[in-house]
């Protein structure tokens, strides 16, 4: 393993890695995207995007507008995102695990003029989409169809839907606009659980501090010209979205798309393509470490220079095991879709401060606030943050909702934590009920609202419980009406019919009463505690 050079001080201007291109091979200079056995160069992706931009303009997409993407990891994701950027419009990547109702809500709420969708995903949601939206269909590639065991009948674009590539190639290239970093409006949920689009406000950052901030962020992301990477996480998430699109456009990266994360295949791709940089989530670490030792040692990973992770807390034993396996090249971020990256932590720093998620990046503020205000060093409270070098945000069409998570211009992700004497942040709990499963945010209030619509349910509480692979899984504690005969499978079936599959409770328990006080507040801590005590952790 060739170590990353020691740039480990905030504000360093450049990352220095000797022999990168030589070790990565000649292909490191070929920028583009590989999906399956199909490679499309960055030059060709850009040309396609410019033609698509002309087409999108003809459909009413303009500066300040939006284009929804219901796409798996594929070339068309890059084409559509770059095309929207050329017009100054935002892309709205939609979680394709969502139900038809959930997808339609985001498409409608974002006021997207166009939705670009893979055929198999469109098949399930088309009837729910608003009649005003223009639909462009993308044939689902055979490699994706095989991976997800899709019926061939749903992988072709319906005859009455405009097919993306034919439509795109019917236009001349847009030449009067620059394709900058893609603009995104990622939908996330606040404390109410209702989806809200996070919209950046241009010109609201402290530009004097932006360079130092972005220098450190790109270093922690392992981004440099000619990097070679794999994108295995779905690009509807904010971090994989930014990582893949910015790497391809700004760093002339060689990007390999994985249809779905498979641990041994992932190792094979690292070896085959001489991968240098990776963005991962802790769930991937867990699954890699579960491979038998002889499988893990089978692949040559010596090209790896840098790995970054975020999205969910990483169990300390997992983090330590990854550093021991891959070397001190595993760095970490903490932040949110709303504020971006707030803290960062190198392997060496983590080993010196086990369990930390890092210290504030340049121009980032972290404040720990308790019931009575700011708390002293070492004491826990709710974590409030701000990145002054980042553009500010609002919730699209719901600007008043920001007040729910804001104090004095600082924003909370709902985490409980503390700062140590060296300024490193540690997370120890969550103030709000959000569940993070495999890096995906799940909001119990949405599932509870769904369950309370089921005849026979008197009350319920949904909360997160420990899961060795995904970090957390969903539990539902149920109180039924007298005489109700609902079973656990009835509960799961009802949720599955109305919400995305990943929101279906793994554990369902039935109770004569739930710990709810007279004011109506549910003491979920009493329900969670037995599970977490048994696991020996609280987050």
* Residue 19, pLDDT above cutoff 70: no
CA distances from 527 to 81, 188, 430, 464, 509 (A): 43, 26, 15, 10, 10
Indicate the average pLDDT of the chain.
87
Q: What is the DSSP string of 259-277?
A: SS--HHHHHHHHHHHT--E
Residues 425 and 360: their CA atoms lie apart, in Å, by 8
* Residue 80, pLDDT above cutoff 60: yes
* Residue 128, pLDDT above cutoff 90: yes
Name the phi and psi angles at 461, rounded to 5: -145, 130
- What's residue 2's pLDDT? 28
CB 87 within 8 Å of CB 65: yes
- What's residue 29's pLDDT? 57
Tokens of 531: 């599970």
> Average pLDDT of 16-31?
44
Report all structural domains of the chain as residue ranges with CATH numbers, in order of start: 39-184 (3.40.50.12780), 435-535 (3.30.300.30)
* Residue 476, pLDDT above cutoff 70: yes
CA atoms in the 13 A half-sphere facing the CB of 280: 25
* Residue 190, pLDDT above cutoff 70: no
The confidence band for 216, taking pLDDT boundaries of 50, 70 and 90, is: confident
Instruction: Name the more confident of 159 and 434.
Output: 159
Task: List pLDDT tens digits, range 217-246.
Answer: 777 777 888 899 999 999 998 888 988 998
> What's the DSSP call for residue 13?
S
* Residue 137, pLDDT above cutoff 70: yes
Residues 77 and 69: their CA atoms lie apart, in Å, by 7
CB 331 within 8 Å of CB 3: no
> Average pLDDT of 169-196?
80
- What's residue 193's pLDDT? 57
> Average pLDDT of 332-344?
90
Q: What's the pTM value of the predicted model, to 2 decimals?
A: 0.83
- What's residue 3's pLDDT? 29
CB 57 within 8 Å of CB 174: yes
> Average pLDDT of 320-336?
94
Instruction: Give Rg (Cα) of the chain.
Output: 23
* Residue 28, pLDDT above cutoff 50: no
């Amino acid at each position: 393993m060739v170590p990353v050079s020691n740039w480990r001080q905030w504000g360093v201007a450049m990352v220095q890695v000797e022999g990168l291109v030589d070790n990565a091979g000649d292909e490191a200079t070929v920028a583009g995207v590989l999906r399956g056995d199909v490679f499309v160069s960055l030059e060709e992706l850009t040309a396609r995007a410019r033609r698509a931009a002309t087409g999108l303009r003809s459909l009413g997409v303009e500066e300040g507008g939006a284009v929804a993407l219901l796409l798996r990891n594929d070339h068309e994701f890059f084409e559509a995102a770059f095309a929207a950027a050329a017009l100054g419009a935002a892309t709205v990547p939609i979680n394709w695990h969502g139900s038809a109702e959930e997808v339609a809500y985001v498409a409608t709420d974002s006021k997207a003029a166009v939705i670009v969708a893979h055929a198999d995903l469109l098949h399930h949601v088309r009837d729910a989409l608003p009649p005003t939206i223009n639909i462009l269909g993308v044939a689902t590639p055979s490699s994706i169809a095989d991976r997800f065991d899709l019926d061939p009948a749903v992988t072709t674009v319906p005859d009455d839907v405009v097919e993306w590539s034919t439509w795109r190639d019917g236009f001349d290239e847009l030449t009067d606009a620059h394709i900058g970093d893609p603009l995104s409006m990622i939908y996330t949920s606040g404390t109410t659980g209702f989806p809200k689009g996070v919209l950046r406000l241009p010109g609201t950052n402290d530009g004097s501090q932006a360079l130092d901030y972005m220098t450190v962020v790109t270093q922690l992301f392992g981004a440099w010209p000619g990097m070679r990477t794999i994108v295995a996480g779905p690009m509807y998430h904010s971090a994989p979205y930014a990582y893949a699109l910015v790497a391809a456009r700004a760093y002339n990266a060689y990007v390999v798309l994985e249809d779905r994360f498979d641990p041994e295949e992932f190792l094979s791709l690292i070896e085959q393509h001489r991968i240098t940089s990776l963005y991962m989530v802790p769930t991937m670490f867990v699954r890699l470490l579960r491979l038998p030792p002889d499988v893990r040692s089978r692949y040559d990973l010596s090209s790896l220079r840098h790995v970054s992770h975020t999205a969910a807390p990483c169990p300390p034993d997992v983090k330590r095991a990854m550093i021991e396996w891959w070397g001190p090249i595993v760095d970490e971020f903490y932040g949110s879709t709303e504020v971006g990256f707030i803290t960062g932590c190198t392997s060496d720093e983590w080993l010196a401060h086990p369990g930390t998620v890092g210290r504030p990046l340049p121009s980032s503020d972290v404040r720990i606030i308790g019931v009575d205000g700011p708390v002293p060093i070492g004491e826990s409270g709710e974590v409030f943050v701000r990145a002054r070098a980042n553009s500010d945000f609002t919730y699209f069409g719901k600007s008043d909702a920001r007040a729910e998570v804001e104090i004095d211009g600082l924003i909370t992700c709902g985490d409980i934590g503390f700062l140590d004497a060296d300024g490193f942040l540690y997370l120890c709990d969550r103030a709000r009920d959000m569940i993070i499963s495999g890096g995906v945010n799940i909001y119990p209030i949405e599932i509870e609202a769904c369950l309370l619509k089921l005849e026979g349910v008197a009350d319920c509480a949904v909360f997160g419980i420990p899961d060795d692979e995904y970090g957390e899984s969903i539990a539902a504690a149920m109180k039924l009406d007298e005489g109700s005969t609902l079973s656990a499978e009835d509960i799961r079936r009802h949720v599955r019919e109305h919400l995305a599959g990943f929101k279906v409770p793994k554990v369902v328990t039935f109770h004569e009463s739930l710990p709810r006080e007279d004011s109506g507040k549910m003491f979920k801590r009493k329900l969670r505690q037995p599970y977490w005590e048994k696991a020996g952790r609280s987050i």
